[in-house]
A and B are shown apart, each in its own frame.
Chain A
Amino acid sequence: MPFDWLNPYHLQVASFILINVILGVSIYVTLATGQLSLGNAGFMSIGAYTSAILTTGHGVPMVAGIVSGSLLAGVSGILVGIPALRLSGVYLAIATLGFGEVVRVVFINWESLTGGAVGIAAIPQMGREILAALRDAGFSPESLGLQNNQFISLAVFVILSVTTLAVILFFLRLANSRVGRAYGAIRMDEAAAEATGIDTTYYKVLAFSQGALLSGLAGALYAHATSYVSPADFTYHRAVEILVFAVFGGSEHLLGPVFGAMFLTVIPEVLRFVNDYRHIIYGTLLVLMMVFRPQGVIDPPLLDRLSGREPAEGH
Chain B
Amino acid sequence: MFAEQLINGITLGSIYAVVALGYTLVFGVLDIINMAHGEIFMFGAFVGMLIVTKVHSSLGIAFAGAIASTAAMGYLLERFALRPLRGKSGGSPLAPLISTIGVSIILENVAHKLFGAGNHLFETPFAEIRFDVGPVTVYLVQVVILAISILLMAGLSLWLRKTRAGKALRATAENLETAALMGVATNRIITATVVIASAMGGVAGVLVGMAFNYINNQMGLAMGLKGLAIIIFGGMGSVGGAMAGGLILGLSETLVVAYGSSGYRDAIAFVAIIVVLLIKPQGLFGQALPGTER
A: which residues have CB within 8 A of B?
36, 83, 85-91, 93-95, 97-99, 101-102, 105-106, 108-109, 236, 240, 243, 247, 251, 277, 279-280, 282-287, 289-291, 294-295
Contacts and interface: CB of A to CB of B under 8 A. Distances in A.
B278 A86 contact: yes
A143 B41 CA distance: 61
A89 B94 CA distance: 7
Contacts of A294: 85, 88, 90-92, 95
B98 A290 contact: yes
Given A83-B278, A282-B105, A294-B85, A95 B266 contact: no
10 tightest CB-CB pairs across the interface, nearest first?
A286-B102, A283-B105, A98-B270, A283-B106, A290-B99, A105-B267, A287-B102, A109-B263, A291-B84, A283-B102
A149 B92 CA distance: 46
The main secondary structure of chain A at its interface with chain B is helix
Contacts, number: 130
Interface stretch (B147-155, B157-165, B225-233): B225-233
Interface in B108-137: 108-110
B4 to A, nearest CB: 25
A286 to B, nearest CB: 3
B221 A283 contact: no
A88 B93 CA distance: 11
Interface string B238-281: 00000000000000000000000101101101110110011001
Q: Say whether chain B's binding surface is mostly helix, strand, loop, or mixed.
A: helix
A280 B110 contact: yes
* Chain B interface bracket (under 10, 10 to 19, 20 to 34, 35 or more): 35 or more
A93 B97 contact: yes
A89 B93 contact: yes
B270 A99 contact: yes
Contacts of A106: 267
Given A89-B93, A243-B98, A291-B99, A95 B104 contact: no
A240 B108 CA distance: 14
Given A87-B281, A98-B270, A294-B85, A284 B263 contact: no
A99 B271 CA distance: 8
A261 to B, nearest CB: 16
Interface in B203-245: 221, 225, 228-229, 232
B291 A90 contact: yes
Contact of B267 (A36, A102, A279): A102
Nearest to A252: B92
Contact of A286 (B98, B225, B228): B98
Given A90-B97, A90-B291, A91-B291, 6 more contacts: A88-B294, A101-B266, A105-B266, A279-B105, A290-B99, A294-B90
B274 A280 contact: no
A150 B221 CA distance: 40
B7 interface: no
Contact of A94 (B32, B90, B109, B273): B273
A237 B266 CA distance: 16
27 contacts: A86-B294, A87-B277, A87-B281, A88-B293, A89-B93, A90-B32, A90-B94, A90-B97, A91-B291, A95-B274, A99-B270, A105-B267, A106-B267, A240-B101, A247-B98, A251-B92, A280-B105, A282-B105, A283-B101, A283-B105, A283-B109, A286-B99, A287-B99, A290-B99, A294-B88, A294-B91, A294-B92
A86 B273 CA distance: 13
Nearest to A86: B281
Contacts of B267: 101-102, 105-106
Contacts of B97: 36, 90, 93
Given A90-B94, A236-B225, A98 B101 contact: no
B103 interface: yes
